[in-house]
Structure 1
Amino acid sequence: MPRRRHWQELPDAVRRHVEHHTGTVRAAYSVPTGASCDLAAVLDTDIGRIFCKGGETDGPTAWLYRNEARVNPYLPEVAPRLRWTVEEQGWLLLGFEYVAGRHPDLGPESPDLLPVVQLLSSLNRQLTPAPPIPVQRFADRWRDLIASELVDGDTLLHTDMTPRNFLLGDRLRLVDWSSPARGAAWIDTAFMLVRLIRAGHEPAAAEAWARQVPAWAHAPDEAVNAFADGLVRLWERKQQAVPGPHHGPLLDAASQWRDYRERINAR
């Protein structure tokens, strides 16, 4: 993850360019966790609060900011609106509608589980067929993990179902659309299912929750089985390549899900 930069560390010309959109930035509060970007800050401005994220245009994550800027105009209101982009002196910054909220609790019996399932169901309806924008096919992203026909489809997917990308305030919002893909409508629910297992759900209970999403309820068993196996191999690779504090628990959750599916298919 890049070193997090603070607002005052940006070149003067970059900050002035931002203020052409916002008016005076009276205060800036760095966001210490979450987005993998050089800068993530809440700006208090003449036009109200703005969430600003971005980084250097020649940095390893610049393509993520461009992805998010390209897809945002086509997203439903569950995604905060992109107000402006600034590209100046080697920096690319995105200014979003500020959304207050907390991350949902995904544990068993949590009341937050209902708005999550409602959001996933709504996204499937609104983003199928996928908007006419160039995004990677999920089948290409996972080409060495799963047969392409099993995950192909025409739904615009988020693909990063970490709880920190959900903000629950007056309603549930989904942020950080930097890794979109086009694929089968049930895939985002499959990613979320593993997060539920990590949060303490048994695999059977997590799948029962997922069946409330119509796209998941109609997902072919063959495709889901292959996805579960591919997800284990993906987290094994990540754990071996760059061990992180969350890789091990997610590998364990994915393994629990794959093993559960193997057991029920063996009956």
Structure 2
Amino acid sequence: MPRRQHWHDLPAGVRRGVERHTGKVSHAESLPDGATCEFAVTLHSSAGRVFCKGGPADGPGAWLYRKEARINPWLPDAAPRLRWTVERDGWLLLGFEYASGLYPSLEPGSPDLDAVADLLAALARELTPCPPVDVQPFTERWRGLVNPELVDGDTLLHTDMTPRNFLFGDRLRLVDWSAPCRGAAWIDTAFMLVRLIRAGHGPAAAERWAARIPAFADADAEAVTAFTDALVRLWDRMQRTAPASHRGPLLDAARQWHAHRLSRRPTAV
């Protein structure tokens, strides 16, 4: 996790560059959690609020910021609009439309689950076919983990279904499109299904929820099972090579789902 920088830590020239877009910044609130970028703040000015994120222009995360800026114009309005970018004095910052709200609850019985399903269904519909923007194919990202034909597709995917990327205000928004891929339309729902198991749903109940999303309901069963197998192997490798507190519970959830998928396969006679 990079060390988080604050507004007054930035070079004066960078702050002036931002204020050409925002007007004079009266104060800035650093994001308390949920972001791995070096700089993530809500800026307050006479023109209103804006969410600003970024980091060193030559840092390890710069390519993610550039990718997010490149695809933003192609995203539906569930994603906050990118208003401006500032690149100077060694920094790259992105300024987004401010979106307020709370993280949705994914626990069993949560009233937020309907809105999450509706949003995932809408995104799969609106982002198929994939907009004409250069993004990595999911088959390339998961090369060697799964048969490419099973996850190939022409939908622009978000791929990072942590609840912290959803904001529930007057409507549900999906933020942080820094890891997009082009692949099968059901993949984002599959990633969210693991999060539901992590939140306390049984695998069968989580699959019933996911079946409300047409892209997942129409997915090939063997492709979904292969996805669960690949996800377990990927997250197990990540946890062994770079342990993190959040990965253990997610890996356990993925294992539960994979075991459930295998238990439903017909037994050979």
Q: Same fold (TM over 0.5)?
A: yes
Cα displacement string for residues 183-219 of structure 1 (whole angstroms, at most 9, x for unaligned residues): 0000000000000000000000000000000000010
Residue 198 (1) aligns with residue 188 (2): no
| Residue in 1 that maps onto 2:3 | 3
Could you tell me how far apart the structure 2 residues matched to 1:2 and 1:86 are?
20
Residue 72 (1) aligns with residue 91 (2): no
Could you tell me how far apart the structure 2 residues matched to 1:90 and 1:238 are?
31
- On the 8 A contact 1:29/1:43 being kept in 2, the answer is yes
2:38 maps to amino acid = D
| Residue in 2 that maps onto 1:186 | 186
Cα displacement string for residues 123-144 of structure 1 (whole angstroms, at most 9, x for unaligned residues): 0110000100000000000011
The alpha carbon displacement at 1:45 in A equals 1.2
| Residue in 2 that maps onto 1:55 | 55
Could you tell me how far apart the structure 2 residues matched to 1:89 and 1:193 are?
42
2:106 maps to amino acid = L
Could you tell me how far apart the structure 1 residues matched to 2:226 and 2:266 are?
15
| Residue in 2 that maps onto 1:87 | 87
| 1:25-174 correspondence runs (5 A) | 25-174=25-174
SS in 1 for 2:264: helix
Could you tell me how far apart the structure 2 residues matched to 1:16 and 1:101 are?
29
Could you tell me how far apart the structure 1 residues matched to 2:156 and 2:237 are?
25
1:111 maps to amino acid = P
- On the 8 A contact 1:4/1:32 being kept in 2, the answer is no
Residue 262 (1) aligns with residue 262 (2): yes
RMSD: 0.7
2:12 maps to amino acid = D
SS in 1 for 2:265: helix
How many residue pairs were aligned? 267
The alpha carbon displacement at 1:242 in A equals 1.2
- On the 8 A contact 1:159/1:187 being kept in 2, the answer is yes
1:169 maps to amino acid = G
1:261 maps to amino acid = R
| Residue in 2 that maps onto 1:176 | 176
Could you tell me how far apart the structure 1 residues matched to 2:34 and 2:109 are?
25
SS in 1 for 2:52: strand
Could you tell me how far apart the structure 2 residues matched to 1:86 and 1:266 are?
57
The alpha carbon displacement at 1:237 in A equals 1.2
Q: Which runs of 5+ in 2 are unaligned?
A: none
SS in 1 for 2:164: helix
| Residue in 2 that maps onto 1:220 | 220
TM-score under structure 2 normalisation? Answer: 0.98
The alpha carbon displacement at 1:266 in A equals 3.8
| Residue in 2 that maps onto 1:12 | 12
SS in 2 for 1:108: coil
Could you tell me how far apart the structure 1 residues matched to 2:32 and 2:18 are?
21
TM-score under structure 1 normalisation? Answer: 0.99
The alpha carbon displacement at 1:32 in A equals 2.1
Cα displacement string for residues 108-155 of structure 1 (whole angstroms, at most 9, x for unaligned residues): 010000000000000011000010000000000001110111000000
User: What is the aligned-residue identity percentage?
Assistant: 66
- On the 8 A contact 1:124/1:215 being kept in 2, the answer is yes
The alpha carbon displacement at 1:47 in A equals 1.2
